[in-house]
Amino acid sequence: MITNEPSTQQTPLPTEPADLPEEHVDSVIQPVASEPTVVGRRLEWFNLARAFLLWAASIVLLALVPVIITLPYLIYLRSIGPLDITVLTTDKILAFLSVVAIPPAHLLTLWLIWRVITQKGKYPFWKAVGFEWPEYPRPAVVTLTCVGLSVALLLFGGLVTQIWGGSKTQLDLLVESSTAARLATAFVAVFTAPLVEELVYRGVLYSALERTVGKIIGVAVVALLFAGVHVFQYQNNIAVIAVITLLSITLTLVRAYTGKVLPSFIIHLVFNGIQSIVIALWPLTGWGSE
């Protein structure tokens, strides 16, 4: 017989928590929550070591690929006479070949970055490396701000070098060596250097440093490394080194503030692009002499 009286036995609803003591629940959950944290930290340090290896590989490629490409010409020079270091430093063909070798080195570096970041194609490259627009503000505002920063850095750099002076740098001598070397230098400065350098320094390396040691140390290390690798190129002029260091700090701070690589790339691209126009238009600008 069916009655409306409540039953003395009630079945818990599926959404109700299990009847486990609170102490027992904590003892079950805590070890499971702590284990991924330890594993995650180890993975972050592993990624940092891998990022430094990638940075070192990019430096090695920039040194090794030009040697490989210029080697046949050096062998030819050796076959027609003794190699004189003074002659080599003023050889126009050798200077041109050393610049032509940079894009292949950059392409190899880009390939290494792709393999590391995407784990051989498992993840989307540009998103994984942070080459995106910041969430705020709008892209147009970001672009205008980056262009303004680039122009300001160039004007300040020109003022510093004008006041401070200094000897000609390796870049100056390269630009002056020939028209072919000058145009090749302008091409590299616009089409390969900004992208690859930003992906290595502000993409892979800074991201790994920020996750392991924090933003402040990350900015300091990346800024010093980027400026440091350019010291050889500008070693004869302290003023230019100071400007490059300021550029490096600015690029890294923008990366840390926005959380993305694209704004730093825009600043780097415009900064190099304006200089490349000046280099390419040497007969009008008076940069160097044949």
For 45-94, write each residue's pLDDT tens digit.
999 999 999 999 999 999 999 999 999 999 998 898 888 777 777 889 99
Q: What pLDDT, on the 0 to 100 scale, is given for residue 63? A: 95
Q: Is the per-residue pLDDT at 18 higher than 60?
A: no
Answer for the pair 95, 177: CB distance below 8 angstroms, yes or no.
yes
Q: What pLDDT, on the 0 to 100 scale, is given for residue 286? A: 56
Q: Is the per-residue pLDDT at 10 higher than 70?
A: no
Q: What pLDDT, on the 0 to 100 scale, is given for residue 82? A: 83
DSSP state of 203: I
- Split at pLDDT 50, 70, 90, the class of 121 is confident
Range with the poorest average pLDDT among 77-91, 206-220, 262-276: 77-91
Distances (CA, A) of 204 to 37, 140, 158, 171: 22, 26, 31, 27
- Split at pLDDT 50, 70, 90, the class of 41 is confident
Q: What pLDDT, on the 0 to 100 scale, is given for residue 168? A: 84
Residue type, 232: F
In a 13 Å sphere around the CA of 255, the CA atoms on its Cβ side amount to 34
Q: What pLDDT, on the 0 to 100 scale, is given for residue 187? A: 96
Average pLDDT over residues 16-32: 41
- Split at pLDDT 50, 70, 90, the class of 231 is confident
Q: What pLDDT, on the 0 to 100 scale, is given for residue 35? A: 47
Q: Show the tokens assigned to 70.
A: 């210029």
Angstrom distance (rounded) from CA 218 to CA 155: 27
Residue with the bigger pLDDT between 38 and 217: it is 217
Q: What pLDDT, on the 0 to 100 scale, is given for residue 285? A: 57
Domain boundaries along the sequence of the chain:
42-124+133-285
Angstrom distance (rounded) from CA 129 to CA 113: 9
pTM of the predicted model, to two decimals? 0.83
Highest mean pLDDT among 24-33, 35-44, 65-74: 65-74
The percent of residues in the chain predicted with pLDDT above 90, rounded, is 62
In a 13 Å sphere around the CA of 93, the CA atoms on its Cβ side amount to 9
Q: What is the pLDDT of residues 150-199, one digit of tens each?
A: 999 999 998 998 888 778 888 888 888 889 999 999 999 999 999 999 99
Q: Is the per-residue pLDDT at 9 higher than 80?
A: no
Angstrom distance (rounded) from CA 199 to CA 110: 8
The percent of residues in the chain predicted with pLDDT above 70, rounded, is 85
Answer for the pair 286, 273: CB distance below 8 angstroms, yes or no.
no
Answer for the pair 124, 104: CB distance below 8 angstroms, yes or no.
no
